[in-house]
Structure 1
């Protein structure tokens, strides 16, 4: 259980940080790391969906893992997402993260081809055996097309390196089922930010989320309320968070492009997003003023 304590709390998914030409930026990655460190989050999840991993080559992904580790190792918990289209690439990323001193690895299941459970099991097992690091399964069926079953999760847990699951499926019942399978010796992360509070109540031990870095104060406060048993107060914050998320997802640009513009206005310029994702439009720029105001007002209401 002592091992798992470092994985509790609020762990933002780190965004891809580009220079003005769209290349991975060491300076901007470190700026974002420093910003999150200053906000008091407990860790970061590096190289996942928010990190635009599927649009980057191996060298770019290795660079981001390197820059984040150099800036944050020993200061907060570091989880490296190493899922890639091929097992070979995933293992290469896993070994790189291990050399950098990450606290754990994580990976989505194989994408594109519809594979049977035995192939998915082998994919995850091969990555797990590539290093000595703890491993966190990543279940996100809405983007990968693969749904992790409690039965396969139980089989994976026979390997003691598997310490938990980042569950990003929408039903909170999935969190309850995975927690029931794993018990207290396994950590379950809530994935969908829209259900952070309900996910925690249903058994999630912590949260990893793609919008956390745009409003870390709100998620940190919601988590404190949940830990204190103040569920009504936590639910009020969740309602404000959901209003903000709906606004983030309702612009011409992708949600991540909108979040990056919000961070730029906070003094953290991490560039835009990589095509085919869309950057913000001229019309978005004005509407983002309102989203920033929504976040600031929610922080003022709840985080005193």
Structure 2
């Protein structure tokens, strides 16, 4: 099992959105501007090409283009974890090698989707990616979309390899998260996936979080993490509740990613519409989303000192 890597990778990671032009093609300049937006927000890094990044809806070449733009803009400033999971092992290995060539810090992958794979098939799929590069590998467990839930037996087998350094736990069970952390040990990374239970995940052993809604309120998740680290759990619970109110409102739109992209657009960060079949927001949603944006900005202002490392908030 890998050692000494928790401090390098722990923290808050934005699950980066896709960046398209007005014709729906991956846009390098918009991708760069989006990545740059997060440099000064206090986050540890970016998770590129995952669920929030619509990687499964993009071609291999589009995923490469998106990563290249991100690396050109923020390499060395943020830690970059690249999701390389694809339906075919061949594509996943190609994406893995490309991530290493670009200078990414780690790779990560879901199991192949659509087909219900056996543990042996999933292990073989992941192992091909692990063996194709010298990069650390982070398992991505999201059973509600893949239909595959990582067993402790397979986790233990995979984690025995030096290059397998952690798991992104996006399943809804904090019990499973705690079990993964206990099985992996102190130097095995566990990232909390469900944004709405970040605090619960941290309490049960997660070393940080990777999330999609972080993209419109990174400062709040950084503040939440700092409150937890300082043992101010009641204040952290109050902030998690506030964040969850924002998440509930975001989930009220045709697609979460469409709502988040529109909020960033209001802040001058264009990233295009989500790719169909993910739906964009409609004109009648613009006003309530503008109100939500203002409420988020107000909360960010209230917790700014905490996010920056100060001892209290307004």
What's the TM-score, normalizing by structure 2?
0.95
Which ranges of structure 2 fall in alignment gaps of 5 or more residues? 306-314
Query: Is 1:286 aligned to 2:287, yes or no?
Result: yes
CA apart distance, 1:180: 0.5
Distance 1:120 1:37 in 2: 35
Query: Is 1:181 aligned to 2:183, yes or no?
Result: yes
Contact between 2:64 and 2:98, CA under 8 Å: does it hold in 1? yes
Q: Residue deviations 1:187-231, cap 9 Å, x none?
A: 000000000011001000011001101001100000001111111
Distance 2:267 2:194 in 1: 24
RMSD: 0.9
Q: Residue deviations 1:222-276, cap 9 Å, x none?
A: 000111111111111100110000100102x311011011001111111111111
- Structure 2 partner of 1:152: 154
SS of residue in 1 equivalent to 2:87:
coil
Distance 1:112 1:274 in 2: 19
- Structure 1 partner of 2:95: 93
CA apart distance, 1:300: 3.0
CA apart distance, 1:299: 1.8
Contact between 2:71 and 2:102, CA under 8 Å: does it hold in 1? yes
Equivalent of residue 245 in structure 1, options 236, 247, 270? 247
CA apart distance, 1:4: 2.7
Distance 2:5 2:166 in 1: 12
Which ranges of structure 1 fall in alignment gaps of 5 or more residues? none
Within-5 A mapping of 1:86-165: 86-165=88-167
Within-5 A mapping of 1:246-265: 246-251=248-253, 253-265=254-266
Distance 2:290 2:68 in 1: 34
CA apart distance, 1:294: 2.3
Distance 1:260 1:276 in 2: 15
CA apart distance, 1:171: 1.1
Equivalent of residue 26 in structure 2, options 17, 24, 27? 24
SS of residue in 2 equivalent to 1:49:
coil
- Structure 2 partner of 1:302: 303
SS of residue in 1 equivalent to 2:185:
helix
SS of residue in 2 equivalent to 1:78:
strand
Distance 1:277 1:140 in 2: 18
Query: Is 1:72 aligned to 2:74, yes or no?
Result: yes
CA apart distance, 1:301: 3.0
- Structure 1 partner of 2:271: 270
CA apart distance, 1:39: 1.1
- Structure 1 partner of 2:233: 231
Q: Residue deviations 1:52-100, cap 9 Å, x none?
A: 0111101000101111111111111010100000000000000000001
Equivalent of residue 192 in structure 1, options 167, 180, 194? 194
CA apart distance, 1:2: 3.2
Equivalent of residue 38 in structure 1, options 19, 37, 40? 40
CA apart distance, 1:296: 2.0
Distance 1:169 1:83 in 2: 17
Distance 1:141 1:294 in 2: 32
Within-5 A mapping of 1:52-71: 52-71=54-73
